[in-house]
Structure 1
Amino acid sequence: MATINTYLNFNGNCEAAFNFYKSVFGGEFIFLGRFEEMPEGDGYKVTDSDKNKIMHVSLPIGKTILMGSDTVGDWGPKFVQGNNFSVSITPENTEEADKLFKGLSAGGHITMPMENTFWGSYFGMLTDKFGINWMVNLEQSQA
């Protein structure tokens, strides 16, 4: 069965926010990556002003993981305070990932189809027909 975690988006202050959350909840980051580490691809280019911003950070809290990133560029999601979160699903296998993605995207909008990523996951993003943002992330070792 899939697990669900919260994914937060920030307007350039993700690192400060997650350092604050770490001071409150304790623990250590599982991962902290910056946009300068991301390979450039079709339709997006990381600007010099965005290179040091957070591409992804993960902080375990109990049995869940709080995740986040800064919003950057014209190709990334737009920051809207109050709507700056997504629900992240971690399925057990590719079949479950595809089923959940297909079901949630019905009547909604796919922002990134399910595909293999440079960070080693089978991943996709969508906004469902009710306006809720979802991420489906399957580590390649599980696929």
Structure 2
Amino acid sequence: MSTTAIPHINFADGKARQALEFYQGVFDGDLLSHTYQDFGMPAGSPDSDRIVFGQITTADGVLLMGYDIPGAQEPDFAKPRSTRRVNGTTVTEQPMFVTLHITDLTEAETLWKRLTVNAVVVEEFASSTWSPGFGIVTDQFGVTWLINVHE
């Protein structure tokens, strides 16, 4: 049996298109997206121009998905939840992070720079006791990423 876990990010604020285009640039990937209208919702209906299926794929195996939650206009769970460092420990109110395990330090540094645009850096990217490069950032769309270099 073969299983692959794919991060699927749900946007409650109508920003799936903007986020997916941002991630396309971060990962140098291909973007495939369809709106609710593409799948049969009448044009002009609420949410018809929002993303129902979005996917980023890269040549080196990154696969990331996302969509706009229909009818959502920033419900409670869409409010920013903090992630911060306290006494050397990561403390968070978020239900999940996306972790990138990368074998090349230079590639990790490049992704770090791209993800930190208009973001909140939780832990600066630097060497750690277990890795030549590790950092935590909450991007401009509220998604927290852990970048970890493993050689």
Question: Which TM-score tier does this pair reach, normalised by the shorter chain?
Answer: 0.3 to 0.5
TM-score, L = length of structure 1: 0.45
Q: Which has the higher contact order (CA 8 A, sep 6+)?
A: 1
Q: Flag the structure with larger Rg.
A: 2
